[in-house]
Amino acid sequence: MSYITKSPWIIHYDGSSCNGCDIEVLACLTPMYDVERFGIINTGNPKHADVFLVTGSVNEQNKNVVKQIYEQMPEPKVVVAVGICANNGGIFKECYNIQGGVDTVIPVDCYVPGCAARPEAIIDGVVKGLGILAEKREKLRQEQLAAKSGAKAAPQAMPVLDDPAEAKEEEA
């Protein structure tokens, strides 16, 4: 848990879920489970979000919405699929309008099982996701540093403002 030094914001989108998992996601944010104590806030704006929680499977109509939200989120980002529907279609797998799990349209980092997924499991999933987020952040930083030192003529990559102190050092 020591890697929760930042305050990760989540965005939640309901694919074609039955609502069961959605209300459990919301329950995580409310006093009983209260993930806000870790600084986790639910935002409606994809550009503010670090973690993408998807409940429910994807279909023809909503797959573009899921893709768009994912693409709008800034790097690094983590996708957590909540509930068995989001994992692989679950009980609705055989329905004619279900394409399958969320991983058929966007890469998923963390799968939370359950129908409905319990709030404890969702929190677990998000915390796992945060670990992955930290790794991705580090990797991105390395890549950008390499790009910076490697090609001087190339357009300069944006400094990663992870650690303001470090960024200043680099500038100096």
Asked if residue 13 lies in contact with residue 141, where contact means CB atoms within 8 angstroms, the answer is no
First to last CA, the chain: 33
Which of ligand SF4, another protein, none interacts with 44 (beta carbon under 5 to 8 A by kind)? another protein
What's the closest the beta carbon of residue 149 comes to ligand SF4, in angstroms?
A: 47
Determine, following the binding rule CB under 6 A, whether residue 129 of this chain makes contact with ligand SF4.
Answer: no
Determine, following the binding rule CB under 6 A, whether residue 8 of this chain makes contact with ligand SF4.
Answer: no
Applying CB under 6 A, the span of 12-20, 44-52, 124-132, 149-157 interacting with ligand SF4 comes to: 12-20
Which of another protein, ligand SF4, none interacts with 8 (beta carbon under 5 to 8 A by kind)? none
Asked if residue 66 lies in contact with residue 58, where contact means CB atoms within 8 angstroms, the answer is yes
Residue with tokens 């944010």: 29
d(CA 140, CA 143): 5
What's the closest the beta carbon of residue 21 comes to ligand SF4, in angstroms?
A: 3
d(CA 140, CA 84): 31
According to CB under 6 A, which one of 55, 80, 109, 126 is a site residue for ligand SF4? Answer: 55
